[in-house]
Structure 1
Amino acid sequence: MKIPFGLTPSLETYTNLAVFLLGALCLALPSGYSIAAVLLLCASITLVRQRRALSSLSWQIHALMLALLAYWLSFLPTLTELRELDGASRFLLALPVFWFLLSIRLSPLFWWLGVMFGALIAGLLASWQKWGLGMPRAEGFTHVIQFGDLSLLLGILSLAGVGLVLQGQGRQRTYLLMFALLAGSAGLLASLLSGSRGGWIGLPFVAWVLWRAYAPWLSCRLKFILLASACIVPLLIYAIPQTGVATRIHAAWQDIQLYQQAEVNTSLGARFEMWQLAIDLIPQRPWLGWGETDYMQEKQALITAGQVTPVIAPFDHVHNDLLDATLKRGLFGLLTLLALYLLPIFYALPYLYTSCTSTRALATALSLIPITFIDFGLSQTLLAHHSGALMYPLMLVCVWALLEQQIRHKQDLAAS
C-alpha cells in the first residue's frame, strides 16, 4: 500500500507506538494515559503540512467530529471559570488526533497488544496491592473507581480481541488467543479487586454483545462450556472471601436498606440524594443547564435551608454522566453526550456480522467502548475525571480510525 499524503515510515512507527502505549501505560504509571495523548497530539501537528481535505472524509466521520466539537461547545454558555473546560478540552484535542490517524497507515496489532498489555499490568498491579500490600481495595495510581472501571474496559477489549484469531491455524494464533484470554481475565480481576461494583452492572450486556459477535465461530461444545462458566464463575468469585466481591455486594444491599430507613450517609445513599437533586433542578434550567458554579451555589443554598442533606456538599458532580450533563449543560449537553455514545455504535453495527474476523473484532471493540462508558457512567461521572475524559475520546478515535482503514482496504481490494 502506498503511504498516503507523503507521510514517512518513521512517523508511522512513532504513531503505532503511541497507539500501543495508549492502552499499555493507561494504568501502569501515574497519569500513564496522558503519555500517549501527548505523543499523538504532537504527531497531529503534521496535519498543518499535509492539509488533508475534510471533504474526502465520510459523513459518519464528519458527524463524530461535529459531536466532539459540540461537546466542548456545550460547556461555554454557563462557563464561569476556565478550569471548567479542562475535561471538555480533551474531547476537543481528540479532533486533530482523529484527523491525523485517518491520514496514516496504522497497524491494528499495535492497538490490540497495547490494550492486552495494559489489562495484564492492571491485573498484576491490583493483585500486588490487594494481596501483597494488604490494601482494602486495589486502586493503582489513580482513584479506586477510575482504576476499576478502566481495568474492566481494558479487560473487555482484550476479550473482544479473541475475534482476531477465531479463524486460522498455527502456533502464533494459539499464543495470541491465550494472551487475549489471559489479559481479559487480568482486567476483570483488577476490577473485582478494586471493588468498583458500578462497572459490574453492565457485564451481562457486554457478554451478550461478545456472544452475538463471535458465537457463529464457536462449536456447540465450546458454547456449552462458556455458558456453564458464565453461571459458575460468578458464584465462585462471590464465594471466595479474598476477592472482596461478596463484601462489596453486601455493603450495597445494606446501603439500600438504610436508605429506605431515611439514612443517607452511605455511598449509595449519597448517590440517590444527588440524583434526586439533579432531577429536581433540571426542569428549572432545561435548555443550557446550571453550569458547575451555579449548581454548587444552588446546592449549598438548599443545604443551608435544610432542604437537602449536607452529605452531598463536597461533590461537584452527581455520580451519573447523563444526569450530570443534563443538569449542568441542559438538553444541548445531553444530546452531545448521547451523540458521542451512539454514533460509534451505529457506525460499527453493520460490521459486527461481517465474515472478516479482524474487521468484526474492531467493530466489536468500537461498539463496546461507548457501551462500557455508559455502564460506568450510571454510578460515576467518569467523564468529569481526567482519566475518563481522556481515555474515552482517544480510544474512540483510535479504534474508529483502525476500522475505517480496514474497511477502505477491503473496498480497495474488491475494486481492484
Structure 2
Amino acid sequence: MDRLQNTIRPYAWGSTTALPELLGTEPTGEPQAELWMGAHPGAPSRLDRGAGAVSLAELIDADPAGELGERSVAAFGPRLPFLLKLLAAGSPLSLQVHPNLDQAAAGFAEEEANAVPLDAPHRNYRDTNHKPELICALTPFDGLCGFRPAADSADLLDGLGVDQLKPYADLLRARPESDALREVFSAVLTADPEAMAETVEQAATAAARRAAEDPEGRFAADYAAYVGIARHYPGDPGVIAAMLLNYVRLAPGEALYLGAGVPHAYLDGLGVEIMANSDNVLRCGLTPKHVDVAELLRIVRFESGGPGVLRPEPTADGAEVYPTPIDEFQLSRYLLADGAEARALPDDRAQILLCTGGRVVVRAADGAELDLTPGRSLFVRAGEHVQLLGDGALFRAAVAG
C-alpha cells in the first residue's frame, strides 16, 4: 500500500477554503477546485516505493495485471478505469452532458477523420470513452440533475411573470413531453444573444423577488438557486436552460449518479466524485467555452424524472455501497469506530482509499500500518490484503464486482 501524492487543480469555480479546511492547510487565496487521485494523464498521482516518487500511470504501464488485477485488465484494458476526486465548488460549474460509449467512439472517430486537433476549443470528443460519474456530498451540496417534468417547469416559468418566458411555458404544456423539452431547450440555446441576455436579467430579478416574497413557496429554493447562477453567469442562456432541470440539495452522505445524456451542473459544496476515465464533456451553458447545440441535441436524453438521490446501502462486510449501473467503478464508504473489529477489504483488484474524517489506520498483511487523516489517500495494488481500523470515515474506490 502506497501513500498518494496528489495534484490540486485550481479551476476558477473552485472554493478558496473547502479543501484547505479538510486538509488542515492554510488557504492560498486562490481557487482550489479538485484534488485528483488516480492515473489520469492530466495529473496522475505519484507514489514512492523506495526509489523516489513515480507516476501511478507509469507503474501501471509497467505491470498492468500486477497493479490492477487480471480481471480489471481483461474488462477495461491496461489502465485504471476510474478517477477519484475531491471536488470543492465555490461557484457553479458549466451545465454539461456526457455521451455513451457508442456516441463517444463515433464522435471521436469523426473528429479524427476531420483532423480536428485534440486541443481545439471547438472539439467535442477527446477520447473514445464514456464518462458516467457519481458525486457524494461531504457538506450540503447543491446541484442540478436531469429534466423535471415539463408541466412543473412550465409552472416555474409562469411563476416568474416574465413575458419572454411565456412561449416556453406554453410549449411545455402543449407538446408531448420529450418533444417539448427538446424544442424549448434548443430554442433557449439558439436564441438571439442580446434578447436572451435581457430575458435572463429579467428572469433573475423576478426569481429573487419570488424567493423573498414566498420563502416557503413551491419553487422558492429553485428560484434562489437560479439567482445565484445568474449572478455568476449574467446573460448566459444556460440560466434559462437550467430552469428546466431538477434543483437538488444533497445532505452529507447522499449522492447523485450522472449517466450518459443527463444534463447536470454542480453549484456549491464539497464532495467525493468518482468517474470513468474520460474527458468527454459537451457543454450546454454557464460557460464561455464552446457550445455545440446540434451535437447536444443528439446526445441529451430528453426524459423527465426526479434527480434520483442515492443513499449508501449496507453490506455484510461493514461497507456502505453507492449502487451504480456501470462496472468501471464502485464507491463504498466505511464509518469506523474505536474498538470495533478490523474490517478486511477485498484484495482481488486495485483500490484507492481516501479518508474524509477522523483518523483511519490501514493495516497490511505483515502488520505494517499507515495512518490516514482527512484528504489523505492510499493506493492498494491488486493482491494486497489490508484491514481498516480507527475512528473516522473512509471512501474506497475500485472497479465494481
Bin of the TM-score, shorter chain as denominator length: under 0.3
Larger relative helix fraction: 1
Q: Which has the higher strand share?
A: 2
TM-score by length of 2: 0.24
